[in-house]
Structure 1
């Protein structure tokens, strides 16, 4: 979806959400899958890809490298048989953090890759050290040449690699490179998110030999080449969690098709602490009140801990809980972009460093606010759904980067939402 620069989201809140909504394919997993298609000259067809701005941005990055990319609704076809360059365009990379994932496939397949520091949401430092340590562990030379990082190796060699931190993008990038390396690569302290697991499943469908050994360990046995595949992207657990939280925050009764309970264990545990009834059903989950919402404490940490991408919308929901809730952010150092906007709406939030204290329930009032990033945007949307009166949200291009047809889906649950 393309958002007009002056477009606003207008929400009249105060009503409980009720009904059923189906989530899109995972934004992050789909971005990883697009990058993985660079590892083969054969066609890769991806299904259940979300119709969001980030997918279009990543498609442009691949096209600039010489790949052919066709987008037809939720199906994306990629053919990278004639890559023309190994340097990712700086302007395109600046718009999307996941664009740095072209490094691993280009290095593994062509022996060279160059990419400027990536962009994306301004939510704090996300260092590239893990990527480079992994590439060097496989035998590549990594240097800074002008504005770009460059990795070169005539042939990567399998190795035992330890990550100082379980970086999701770092894990995926190094796995990509290792699929075409000689020998066996073992990654210790790898990220364990469902999107990483799905990326490994796609690689195996393309002929790779990747095994998740548990305990944050991934083993990759290198192969000579990969082939094409027809693959379906998993549902978006963050989008699912956001709609579940919208139902909880408004005191509603919401069913989310595509919500996978095993991907949301940490959120489900907090729901039960909050006196929310959670009922899994085949293909999804239902949430509804089981008494007044109760305050909780939470830490946003790497998976299987509470997802940092749900921190902001969870905070918005906690404004309606009885008591004092505390959230500690342990992943990103600037995740608090939502705090000032929720205060404008009447939320009682106090933040210090990487923690925020939320006193509730707070009577929220509609007012003009901004979406500072994807998840901060989700937070102000949830707050607007709880607020009395009209909330006008600007900078909604951030929201459209992560949520396909958010207004349409919310209207299906009875929300009064429109674009202007």
Structure 2
């Protein structure tokens, strides 16, 4: 099992490039199910979840080609024949995005059988909102033996009001509605950039969609969609992670190939913490003097455009180095403080009461052997290790490989002393 070894103390200097967004790429790959034509996706990140999605689509009968060489971030998908329209547990057990194939499968083939999703253990992620929406569109839903099955002759347009904001639910039903008969109106929709990215792809395929990026989306169903070439958005969470890496290390880091408009809440909070930010069209320069210059600030995670839950753990690492006391309130997932015990092992002063963690900052961190419990928790431990005294060993880094493309190589390129176990510093 892979490990990271990180020796702290180096400021990050130079330029680091952001990859395509995993959370955009996965629904866009699922959207290829909606057409028999070829779909070409560019700026695909090389992460573990993308490989899992490839295996899933191929198991259904699709042809999927992941690019190599100069085209290494391009994926070509053709779902001319879907001989086995199901998502088997053996393939999707490590990936919660498996539910994203439910809507497009039933819309295209009239039948879908999908294993209940896996992924990070950060809280309950029921797909009941997906199922209620599909039922409103005329699908017959059954559940047994850990699988959900949906059947219909053809989905019908419906008026759907989400009981709570759900990103994957919005995406799943958006895809289903494109081939439904009549108009579908969805209210209380997620407004994340990943939703608007998917909608842009679907419109390129011939879908009739209005309102993506707002709380109300209208879809006029069509009989058929065609192929498309689409470029995936840059990963706003990877970009935010690198901004904090530059700030916590006392560096001067240019985070390139990002979309600053998607990071407004993160940028605002880092500026409140005393981090200097120069925002360009597609890059952000972050400058900091590290622990002595950072100031405490509170955050509360909310749906986009608020502070993202996927940046909460990374911000907590920064808060350990800020002067004063910060509070972090997690409103999206009920079990997303699993990184706290590992940060405390490194010397952090953190107390948790329900959904709120209180961090007393400007605390020196020491190297320790720590365990990665989920994707974003892994990132927070890497950030803490960048400033810890000594050599930190991070176990179970397969979690971070699910969503960060070669993070150790990117960080090493801007001065971090980080390697996978078995490598030698300075060599790849």
| TM-score interval for Structure 1 and Structure 2 normalised by the shorter chain | over 0.9
**2:324 aligned residue:** 323
- Please name the residue that 1:96 is paired with: 95
Q: What's the offset of the Cα at 1:213? A: 5.9
Distance 1:117 1:213, change over 3 A: closer
Which residue is 1:414 aligned to?
415
Tell me the C-alpha RMSD between the 2 structures. Answer: 1.1
Distance 1:250 1:256 in 2: 14
Q: Which residue of 2 aligns with 1:182?
A: 181
Aligned runs of 1:15-414 on 2, under 5 Å?
A: 15-72=10-67, 73-212=72-211, 215-289=214-288, 292-414=293-415
Measured in 2, the distance between the counterparts of 1:31 and 1:164 equals 24
1:26-81 Cα shifts (integer Å, max 9, x gaps): 01100011100000000101110000111000110111111011111211111100
Q: Distance in 1 between matches of 2:214 and 2:189?
A: 9
Give 1:215 deviation, angstroms. 4.1
Unaligned 5+ residue runs, structure 2?
A: 422-428
What secondary structure sits across from 1:392 in the alignment?
A: strand
Q: TM-score, normalised by structure 1?
A: 0.97
Could you tell me whether the CA contact under 8 Å between 1:93 and 1:100 is conserved in 2?
Answer: no
- Cα offsets for 1:290-317 (capped at 9, x unmatched): 8821101111111111110100011001
For structure 1, list consecutive stretches of 5 or more residues without a partner in the other structure. Answer: none
SS in 1 for 2:286: strand
Contact 1:54 1:402 in 2 (8 A): yes
Q: Deviations over 1:72-110 (max 9, x none)?
A: 121111110011022211211212111111101111111
Paired with 1:71 and 1:214, the residues of 2 have a C-alpha distance of: 29
Q: Deviations over 1:180-228 (max 9, x none)?
A: 0011111000000000100000001111111126641111110001001
CA shift for structure 1 position 374: 0.6
Give the distance between the partners of 2:259 and 2:359, measured in 1 at CA.
28
Aligned equivalents of 1:228, 1:349: Cα separation in 2: 51
Q: Which whole-Å CA distance do the structure 1 matches of 2:267 and 2:375 have between them?
A: 22
For 1:336 and 1:366, the matched residues in 2 are separated by 20
* Total equivalences in the alignment: 415
The answer to whether the 8 Å contact 2:99/2:127 transfers is: no
Shift of 1:282: 2.9
Q: CA deviation at 1:248?
A: 0.8
Instruction: State the distance in 2 between where 1:145 and 1:78 align.
Output: 30
